[in-house]
Amino acid sequence: MHIDIISVVPGLLEGPFSHSILKRAEEKGLASVRVHNLRDYATGKQKQVDDYAFGGGAGMVMMIEPIARCIEALQKERTYDEIIYMTPDGDTFDQSMANRLSQVENLLILCGHYKGVDQRVRDLFITKEISIGDFVLSGGELAAAVVADAIIRLIPGVLNDETSALTDSFQDGLLAPPVYTRPAEYNGIGIPEVLLSGHEAKISEWRFEASVRRTKEKRPDLMKGTGWE
């Protein structure tokens, strides 16, 4: 998988992609992420990428021209399965969306800033708009990193334990069950005996029941339509 990210502040994305799972995915040749500075596609001495909104009002708007130049230049290099715009009014990102996007080959993500982008960018180029929640960030970079992380970790071979991603919260519509590690007792507090039994069927049954209980307590909204209410 290849992901291109367009940003006004590319430095914000240096950390997330140079460590841990995302770095290993690139070293294994399973995924690559490239961040592009939008100002490289701007003109003039100031490399301006934003301007005042027509009609007035507070805040600046990202201009269509540098964005169009950047996208069109990148499209000459590869065909994108989706061109994504990170925006608070996009579709809410969830695990099912991450699963779908992890199966494509090429993604292009545009990070919003200021008051957003000229609407014509969205009309002409964007194929998918994504939000990571009902709140506003200073820019789309952190949101883009969240989306990329959630997608890349699902690619087969990225995680050392390939079954790990399949047992994450939300994969089956439930939250993950409680987990424990050594010591088996801490300050007089033990762990469920079934986890020490070695009986795989009973352990699986306990984990499923624990997932259902936890989901009912913490996220009952996820239970609707599952038959586990």
Which CATH number applies to 2-152? 3.40.1280.10
What mean pLDDT is predicted for residues 104-109?
Answer: 98
pLDDT of 135 higher than 70: yes
What mean pLDDT is predicted for residues 18-35?
Answer: 90
What does the pLDDT read at residue 167?
60
CB 150 within 8 A of CB 170: no
Give per-residue pLDDT as tens, 163-211. 566 566 566 778 888 999 999 999 999 999 999 999 999 999 999 999 9
What mean pLDDT is predicted for residues 6-10?
Answer: 96
Q: For residue 209, what are the β-bridge partners?
A: none
Give the list of residues 6+ apart from residue 147 with CB closer than 8 angstroms, or none.
84, 86, 93, 98, 101, 109, 130, 132
| Mean pLDDT score of the chain | 92
pTM of the model: 0.89
pLDDT of 228 higher than 60: no
Ranking 8-22, 91-105, 208-222 by mean pLDDT, the lowest is 8-22
Provide the pLDDT confidence category of residue 19 given band limits of 50, 70 and 90: confident
Going by the annotation, the residues of the binding site are 112, 132-137
Question: Nearest Cα to 88, choosing from 116, 122, 108?
Answer: 116
Peptide bond between residue 183 and the one before it cis (omega within 30 degrees of 0): yes
Question: Inter-axis angle of helices 141-152 and 20-27, to 10 degrees?
Answer: 60
CATH homologous superfamily of 169-223 equals tRNA(m1g37)methyltransferase, domain 2 (1.10.1270.20)
What mean pLDDT is predicted for residues 118-129?
Answer: 98
Domain boundaries, the chain: 2-152, 169-223
Kindly tell me the number of DSSP H helices and DSSP E strands found in the chain.
Answer: 6, 7
Q: How far apart are CA 139 and CA 116, in angstroms?
A: 9
Sheet holding 32-37, edge to edge: 32-37, 2-7, 106-111, 82-92, 128-131
What does the pLDDT read at residue 88?
93
Percent of the chain, pLDDT > 90? 78
CB 85 within 8 A of CB 110: yes
Ranking 3-12, 63-72, 100-109, 152-161 by mean pLDDT, the lowest is 152-161
Q: Which residue has the tokens 């065909």?
A: 79
User: What is the pairing mode between strands 50-52 and 60-62?
Assistant: antiparallel
151: three-class secondary structure by DSSP: helix
pLDDT of 126 higher than 60: yes
Provide the pLDDT confidence category of residue 160 given band limits of 50, 70 and 90: confident
What mean pLDDT is predicted for residues 123-152?
Answer: 96
Give per-residue pLDDT as tens, 31-81. 999 999 999 999 988 999 999 999 998 899 999 999 999 999 999 999 999
Amino acid at 145: A
Q: For residue 36, what are the β-bridge partners?
A: 6
Name which residue leads in pLDDT, 83 or 113: 83
Going by the annotation, the residues of the binding site for S-adenosyl-L-methionine are 112, 132-137
Name which residue leads in pLDDT, 23 or 66: 66
107: three-class secondary structure by DSSP: strand
CB 194 within 8 A of CB 202: yes
CB 114 within 8 A of CB 58: no
Q: For residue 34, what are the β-bridge partners?
A: 4
